[in-house]
Amino acid sequence: MSSRFLDRVMVIACAAFLAVPVAAHAARTLRICAEPANLPYSSEDRRGFENRIALLIAGDLGAELRYYWLPQWRGYARKTLQQQHCDVIPGIPAAADNVLATDAYYRGAYALVYSPKRFPDLVSLDDARLRTLRIGVQVVGVDAIATPPARALARRDIVDNVVGFPVMGDKPSAERIVEGLANGTLDVGIVWSPQPGYFIVKRHADLVVVPIHGNPRDPPFDFAIAMGVRRDDPALQQALNASIARLKPKIDAVLREYAVVRVDQPTAPGPM
């Protein structure tokens, strides 16, 4: 057994022994990285379901809650966590590889948003009606990167009747798509499912949010959502995991209050 191996064993053992007190120390102040104007997630006036969940967790950990506000442009983790401005990014994919992710606290999916009276039982991108309807889709970043369902539409040659809504704008892209559906300039929206319900409720719009039924040739449409911490901070990860588990009923209640549409399991593939 090499000395280097023994050194690693000692480091791991010491880290395990110190995990509880380090977590307790880290919990004295919970510094959240958040966007200042990104409802229904967060806003600088502390609205948004991620703000509410952060408040619950800070209370559970006996921590003072502080924020570092920065729009989520490219390199967000590098500009926030890695520069020590804050310690936790809520709402990241659990599979993200540039942070240490907590356990997931919900699972979202890309969804179809539409009037059920006009288009009953619309659940799949293979529905022939989509070839003639005006479809609003979200596009990501300054490079207007297509989301998984936008790529799936292109593979089906559904392109000419599709309108892109950049996530960067004066209003959240989900809000603009819901407005387009309400005023008739769009027939169907394709939106990340946690987002549109909040704006539908605000407008009292007769719209539904239906997670997309994909087929085996499609990319994944649903993703588990967690919080991210620095990769060298497993103690905080463990503390957050414990808090998420304890607070599950309260977190679920916040998500319901904000009309967040979730999926409990990966969405089942639809017909080929």
pLDDT tens for residues 187-230?
999 999 999 999 999 999 999 999 999 888 999 999 999 999 99
Domains within the chain, CATH numbers bracketed? 3-106+223-257 (3.40.190.10), 107-211 (3.40.190.10)
pLDDT tens for residues 16-60?
333 433 344 344 899 999 999 999 999 999 999 999 999 999 999
Half-sphere exposure of 136 (CA within 13 A, CB side): 25
**Residue 60 pLDDT:** 97
**Residue 266 pLDDT:** 61
Cα distances (Å, whole numbers) of residue 263 to 19, 40, 102, 110, 122: 33, 18, 18, 10, 17
**Residue 15 pLDDT:** 39
| Backbone φ, ψ for residue 188 (5° rounding) | -140, 140
Is pLDDT above 50 for 131?
Answer: yes
| Three-state DSSP string of 121-182 | CCCECCCHHHHCCCEEEEEECCCCEECHHHHHHHHCCCCCCEEEEECCCCCCHHHHHHHHHH
Angle made by CA atoms 102, 69, 196, in degrees to the nearest 5 = 70
pTM of the model: 0.84
Average pLDDT over residues 232-253: 97
pLDDT band at 177 (very low <50, low <70, confident <90, very high): very high
pLDDT tens for residues 95-120?
998 999 999 999 999 999 999 999 99
Q: Are 189 and 196 in contact (CB under 8 A)?
A: yes
Is pLDDT above 80 for 265?
Answer: no
Residues 6 or more apart whose Cβ sits within 8 Å of residue 155:
217, 218
pLDDT tens for residues 151-169?
999 999 999 999 999 887 7
pLDDT band at 140 (very low <50, low <70, confident <90, very high): confident
pLDDT band at 1 (very low <50, low <70, confident <90, very high): very low
